Copies of this chain bind each other. A is one copy, B any other.
Amino acid sequence: MTMLNVGRPTRPEALDDTHAPAAGAKGLVQDELLIFELGGWDKTGVDFAPEDLGDVSDLSDLTGLTRAEPLVLPGLSEPETLRHYVRLSQQNHAIDLALYPLGSCTMKHNPRLNEKMARLAGFIDIHPLQPVSTVQGALELMDQLARWLKTLTGMPAVALSPKAGAHGELCGLLAIRAAHEARGDGRKTVLAPTSAHGTNPATAAQAGYAVREIAQTADGRVDLSDLAAKLGPDVAAVMVTNPNTCGLFEREVMEIARLTHEAGAYFYCDGANFNAIVGRVRPGDLGVDAMHINLHKTFSTPHGGGGPGAGPVVLSAALAAYAPKPWVVASGGGFALIEEAEGEAAEALGRLCAFHGQMGMYVRALAYMMSHGSDGLRQVAEDAVLNANYIKARLSGAMTTPFPDGPCMHEALFDDRWLEGTGITTLDFAKAMIDVGFHPMTMYFPLVVHGAMLIEPTETESRRELDRFCDALLELAAAAKAGDAGRFTGAPFHAPLRRLDETLAARKPRLRWTAEG
């Protein structure tokens, strides 16, 4: 931390926090009630032009169809509304505040140019069902995005419409299912490793498949012999994440593909971790049949506190025909949008959602790709992997890692063996990170590693921030081993709130505000 103490000796405890305020605020930190507790029950912060309010009271056309009692929700003036949400925002951690080491989430910087571009009237203010002659630029953009994705993955086709990674998984598995059914083949099983992200089994189930787990080798990869043993006439697809959720590249990925195809199954690759290899490896060269790409990870569309994202799926020649509608095709100098498909293959999957997918994310992702270019994207993968290995190298002395041999890819995985006997859990350690200004890493995932701590820095972290992060964790690790358990089990102490009672929340759920409270 030294670098952060220039001219700033750590503040004497004694002095701190005498004279706490009676108010719900403290210095710059404002406490804030719910919007429903701020009054404004018959106010509104939206004005209408008097001329528009002419004959609005005539509801004769809707007799008997209007609400029994009027909608009761508070409305606040713009100043009150802004203050409410600005205050709330300051209770959040964000990429723009510090390194956000959530493994598997690829919390990278979100370029502001992309936000600006997505707000151009020509993108944000066009209707999905306008005549295609009036949205040629939008279709051209989708076509360009498709070209980038196909070229980067070395796959012949891409379905853009999936709205997130999980939706993309569903798209891929349904295409696979359609391909099997087209041959009258009713396979019912999907194989996936225990380390798989929760969406993989959930998606397989949603696609109507039973899920069987594949064992893992001591070095954190798919156990080929177990895979071979479980492959059979009932297996429709093998779902593998690569690089996998342990942050490791599946060395035998081509062999996995070969065995899978040999068994008449398709190879679905979870591409959520594509950031580690973009520009250096093309999944198409590995034998992948379908892979979703989280534009909100690799291509940096903002996570926005939970979404929205986009999960386009690249498809192999074998599956291309089974893509969902709609899709864009070049036609006579312009572009056409195919919304109705003729023929069994085309109709097999049908439609995954209304309209054409996440245009707002397409614009941001394409802006990101154009900005980096093919050379920059390759650098992205290299820096992401370099940063993760740097963290692994710096922390390995103090923390134990389940797969010490060889490099990791974009994320460094640790377990909790090193905490044995300290009375401190992975959760405690993670919560203590909050007190030193960092967001916890991904915890207890993947399931195959005990007390897993999965750290993904991404390529947009500077050496300085990486060191600040590693220094903080080393200092915490030392404290943990020194037996300063209270600092962890009680953490966080410096966040807007202390640890929250999740059990209470689940035992008697309060999912909305009510006047009774």
Q: Is the CB of A28 within 8 A of B472?
A: no
* Interface: A303 (CB within 8 A): no
If over half of A's interface residues share one DSSP class (helix, strand or loop), that class is named, otherwise mixed; here it is: loop
| Contact flag A435-B496 (CB < 8 Å), given A38-B464, A462-B77 | no
Q: How far is the CB of A257 from chain B (nearest CB, A)?
A: 36
Q: With contacts A437-B30, A493-B18, A494-B26 known, is A97 near B87, CB below 8 A?
A: yes
CB distance from A215 to the nearest CB of B (A): 40
Q: Does A511 contact B (CB under 8 A)?
A: no
A91 neighbours in B (Cβ, 8 Å): 28
| Copies of this chain in its oligomeric complex | 2
B17 and A4 form a contact (CB under 8 A) = no
Indicate whether A39 reaches chain B with its CB closer than 8 angstroms: yes
Judge if A344 is at the interface, Cβ distance under 8 Å. Answer: no
Residue A515, interface by CB 8 Å: no
Q: Does A37 contact B (CB under 8 A)?
A: yes
Known contacts A37-B6, A494-B27: A109-B78 contact under CB 8 Å: yes
- For the complex formed, measure the closest distance between the CB of A16 and the CB atoms of chain B, giving whole angstroms: 5
Alpha-carbon separation in the docked complex, A24 to B434 (Å): 12
A92 to B30, CA, bound (A): 12
Residues in B with CB closer than 8 Å to A33 are 3-4, 6
| Docked pose: A77 CA to B142 CA in angstroms | 29
Q: Give 6 closest A-B pairs by Cβ, nearest first.
A: A25-B437, A4-B24, A27-B494, A79-B109, A23-B436, A21-B436
- Extra A-B contacts (14), CB below 8 Å, given A15-B493, A19-B490: A1-B23, A3-B37, A8-B24, A21-B437, A23-B471, A23-B472, A25-B98, A28-B90, A79-B109, A82-B96, A83-B97, A83-B98, A86-B97, A90-B90
What are 5 of the A-B contact pairs (CB < 8 Å)?
A4-B25, A15-B493, A22-B475, A79-B460, A80-B465
